[in-house]
Structure 1
Amino acid sequence: MSKTDSDPFSDLEKPKGPSPFAIGFNRSNGDPMVYGGLFVGAFLVIASIVADMPELALIALAPLAVAFWHYPMLDRRVPQLGANADGFFVERIGFIDWASIRKLELRRTAVRNIQLASLEVSLTRSLADAVTGPQIFPVWKKVMMRNWSTRREADGTDTLVIRLHTLSADPEQVLAQLRTFRNV
C-alpha cells in the first residue's frame, strides 16, 4: 500500500476528553477475611458435630458472619467506583450528577505503618437529591460491607466518604481521573 492508499479517516482527530473508568476492590484485601472466616466457621461446625457440642455450632456463626460481611470484596462483577460523562458511579448508590459535586478531596491517614486513603466528595445537596441514576441491588446486599459512608453537614448537604485504599487503583490516579470529568 502506498501513502495515498492509506485509511481516509486517519486524519480525523481522536475524540477528546476523559475516558470512562470503573474499579473494584483489591481482591487480596478480602481473601483473608472471607476465606479465613469460612475456614474457621467450617472447622467449628465439624468440631461441633464430631464432639456433639451444639455450642460450637453457635460460635461458628461469628466467623461465618464475618465472611458474609466481607464477601463484596471478592465480587469482581460489580465495580465499586467509576465515572463517565453521565456522572460519578458509587456501588449501591448509583450515578451522582457531576453538577452536584462541590469538591473532591483526598484524605490520607496512617495506622501504624498501614497507609489509608479516602476520597471525600462534598455535594451541593443531599445524596438522595444528587443521585440521577440509582443502582438496583439485591436486598441481602444491604447487610454486607460497603466501601462508603455519608456525613450530613450543618448546611443540609452531604459528604460522601469513599475508602480508596481497599480498591485496585492508585488513589491519586482515581482523584485525577475524577477531576478531569468534573472539569469538562
Structure 2
Amino acid sequence: MSQDDMHGYTVAYEREELQFPVYVVAFTGACLATVGLALDNVFLIALALLALGFAYYNYPLLETGKQRIGCGQYGVFAEGLGIISWRSIKAIELKQLDVRGSIDHELLIMLEDPLERALLVDWRRRPFYRFLMRLPWSLKGSVIRIPLDAFDRPPEEIAQSFTRMMGFYKR
C-alpha cells in the first residue's frame, strides 16, 4: 500500500504563502552562485550553497495538493512515516505554542506501543534524493508531533477530524 492509495481525511500543504519564500531563497542562491563563480569568491559560493540547501530542504512545500497527513479506516498516516494503527494510538491532542508572540499549532499523537509495532505500513525508507527534504512530522519518545500551520486546513479542523475518526474506528 502506497501513500497515493490512502483514502479518508487528507491534508496537503497550503498553496499560497509557503511557496514564495522558497522560490525567493532558491533564486537568491542561484544569483549568489553565479556571482560567486564569476568573481571566484568562496564566501559567496558558500552563501549560495546555504541558500540552495534551504530551498532543497523546503522543496516539499512547493508540492501543493499532494496529501501529507491524514487518517482513514486503518489509522493515521504521514508522509515519510507510514500508517499508525488506531489501536496503537493512546490520544490525539492539539497543542498551541506561543513563539515570539505568534501562536503555532501542533498535533500531538501519543502512542501506546513503540513506533515499530504501531506502524501498519512503514514509509520511512525514502529515495536518496528526498532524504534531506522536510518531513511533516517529528518523533520525540512516544509522541509524534505534527506542526499544523503549514497545511491547507485550519488546525482546529484537522485535530477535530483526527479525534472524531479515532473515536469512530477505535471502537
User: Scaled by the length of structure 1, what TM-score is found?
Assistant: 0.79
The answer to whether structure 1 residue 61 and structure 2 residue 45 are counterparts is no
Gaps of 5+ in 1: 1-18, 153-157
Aligned to 1:164, which of 135, 138, 148? 148
* SS of match in other structure, 2:91: strand
What's the offset of the Cα at 1:37? 1.6
CA contact (8 A) 2:91 2:110 kept: yes
Tell me the CA shift for residue 20 of structure 1.
Answer: 1.4
Which amino acid in the other structure matches residue 55 of structure 2? Answer: A
Residue matched to 1:16: none
Report matched runs for 1:45-84 at 5 Å: 45-76=33-64, 78-84=66-72
In 2, Cα distance between the equivalents of 1:58 and 1:64? Answer: 10
Determine what percentage of the aligned residue pairs are the same residue: 25
Describe the superposition over 1:92-137 as per-residue Cα deviations: whole angstroms up to 9, x where unpaired. Answer: 0111101111000100022234220001100111112101012253
Q: 2:80 aligns with which of 92, 105, 108?
A: 92
Tell me the equivalent position of 1:141: 130
Shift of 1:29: 4.4
Counterpart mapping for 1:1-184 below 5 A = 20-76=8-64, 78-135=66-123, 137-152=126-141, 158-184=142-168
Query: Following TM superposition, by how much is the alpha carbon of 1:140 offset from its aligned partner in structure 2, in angstroms?
Result: 2.4
Query: What is the identity, as a one-letter code, of the residue corresponding to 1:120?
Result: L
Say whether the 8 Å CA contact 1:78–1:91 is kept in structure 2. Answer: no
1:33–1:70 contact (8 Å) kept in structure 2? no
How has the CA–CA distance of structure 1 residues 77 and 28 changed in structure 2, closer, same or farther, with 3 Å as cutoff? closer
Contact 1:83 1:89 survives alignment (8 Å): yes
Which is worse superposed, 112-121 or 75-84? 75-84
Counterpart secondary structure, 2:146: strand
TM-score normalised per structure 2:
0.85
SS at match of 2:134: coil
Quick one: which amino acid aligns to residue 96 of structure 2? R
Count of residues paired in the alignment: 161
- Match of 2:13, SS? coil
Deviations 1:49-72 (A, max 9, x none): 433434422331010000001111
Counterpart Cα distance in 2 of 1:108 and 1:55: 40
Larger radius of gyration: 1
2-structure distance, mates of 1:113, 1:98: 35
